[in-house]
Chains A and B, each alone.
Chain A
């Protein structure tokens, strides 16, 4: 069965610090990978996605993630965080299929990011 592990439960950073959130998945086949963010009081929003091609994907708000197939990893990065990045971040994966992407996403438990100004 597929599973997703997010290494950090709670990360605390000062503004302008660099961010890297770890995500590893277990699945033997081809996968689609996603990072979602949930700001306080808001719905889950897509930060970025990887389907195929360049393993370095760029998302909204200056976030990027790198897919390393050999390590089954899809870590999220941002060079300089802002107070407004305070949120919960979820890594998710689903198996590539002939059907639409987004089917039966498997989520990690999430990482809470707190950024102090």
Chain B
């Protein structure tokens, strides 16, 4: 059991469409981070949310946006999808208290055709 749950597990979209991915953090965690993992690569940091605000952002365009809800769950939105957005999107949660390593979900596999 990952503790971090993501939905959906797989998604197929067409270029130009928009997509929303969802994440529920592990119980007791209040911080959610999103990563993109392209085939054969390590995860790349997209952004992090805490207290319903984006706290840190990686090198991703504004087409990538997110949201965190009062219950700490989070959404990742990607607009104007490109073929290059095809990847595994990972959600990771952690606790702001102390040195809490990231706990990852199983990811959402997005395919853009």
Contact = CB atoms under 8 A, between A and B. Distances in A.
A51 B102 CA distance: 14
Interface of A is mostly: loop
Contacts, number: 69
Interface string A25-51: 000000010101000001111100101
A43 B107 contact: yes
Interface stretch (A62-70, A77-85, A97-105): A97-105
A106 B59 CA distance: 12
A101 B43 contact: no
Residue of B4, B48, B101 with most partner-chain A CB within 10 A? B101
Given A90-B43, A107-B44, A109-B40, A100 B100 contact: yes
Interface residues on B, range: 20 to 34
A51 B43 CA distance: 21
A43 B105 contact: yes
Given A43-B105, A43-B106, A104 B45 contact: yes
Interface of A: 4, 32, 34, 36, 42-46, 49, 51, 90, 92, 99-110
Contacts of A105: 33, 35, 43, 45, 102
Interface in B48-69: 48, 56, 58
A51 B42 contact: no
Given A104-B48, A109-B40, A43 B94 contact: no
